[in-house]
Amino acid sequence: MNIQEIILEQDLATLQKWWADHKALPVPELFLQGAKGYFCEAAGVRIAALFVYLGAGCKFAMVEFITTNPACAFSRDTAEAVHVLLNHAEKVALEAGCVSILSMVEPGSSGERIIGRMGYITSAGPSHRLWGKALKEIS
C-alpha cells in the first residue's frame, strides 16, 4: 500500500463523492485548507483518505475526516489502508513536534474499532457531542 498526498484542486471532487456516497456531510474546501491530506492506495486504487491538522504552537495534532472509497467493500484491505494512514499521520505529527494526536470518530463505527486497536484511548462514560457555529457563510 502506498501513501499519496491529497491535492485539493485535483482531489476534492473524489472526496466529496465518497462523503456523499457514505451519506456523510461534505466537508467544505475551506476546512481542508492548511491540513495535510493523504490517500492510501493499492494496485492503483485509492482505498482511504484522512486529513492531519497541526496546530501552530500546539503540541498536538488532530486526525479528521477519515473516509474510505465506497466502491471498495469494507474488508481487511480497507481496514489496513486506514491503519497505514493513521500510522502515517502519527509520523507526520511526530516530525512536526507533536506529543499527542486526537481524532473524533463515530461511536460503534469501524473507524472506532480500528483506532481503538491502534492504542488510541477514549474517555469512560458518555461521549461528548461536537458543537459548532458558523461565524460567517461558507461557500
- Check which CATH number belongs to the domain holding 103 and give it: 3.40.630.30
Please list the residues that pair with 60 across neighbouring strands.
Answer: 100
pLDDT tops 80 at residue 1? yes
Amino acid at 84: V
- Write down the pLDDT at residue 130: 67
Whether 127 is in a domain gets the answer: no
Whether 138 is in a domain gets the answer: no
Whether 89 is in a domain gets the answer: yes
Cell reading at 92: 507526520
Highest mean pLDDT among 10-19, 24-33, 49-58: 10-19
Please list the residues that pair with 42 across neighbouring strands.
Answer: 45
Cell reading at 134: 458558523
- Write down the pLDDT at residue 35: 94
Whether 135 is in a domain gets the answer: no
Whether 68 is in a domain gets the answer: yes
Cell reading at 15: 472526496
Whether 124 is in a domain gets the answer: no
Q: Are 18 and 67 in contact (CB under 8 A)?
A: yes
Please indicate whether residue 123 or residue 8 has the higher confidence score (pLDDT).
Answer: 8
d(CA 63, CA 78): 17
Q: Are 6 and 15 in contact (CB under 8 A)?
A: yes
- Percent of the residues in the chain that have a pLDDT greater than 70, as a whole number: 92
Element housing 4 (H / E): strand 2-5
Q: In what order do the strands lie in the sheet with 100-103?
A: 2-5, 36-42, 45-54, 60-68, 100-103
Whether 99 is in a domain gets the answer: yes
Range of the domain at 30: 2-117
- Write down the pLDDT at residue 139: 62
Q: Are 77 and 83 in contact (CB under 8 A)?
A: no
Please indicate whether residue 107 or residue 30 has the higher confidence score (pLDDT).
Answer: 30
Please list the residues that pair with 39 across neighbouring strands.
Answer: 4, 49
- Render pLDDT for 86-102 as a digit per residue (tens, 0 to 9): 999 999 999 999 988 88
Residue 7 confidence class, pLDDT cut points 50, 70, 90: very high
3-state helix, strand and coil shares in percent for the chain, rounded to the nearest 5: 35, 25, 40
Domain count, the chain: 1
Whether 134 is in a domain gets the answer: no
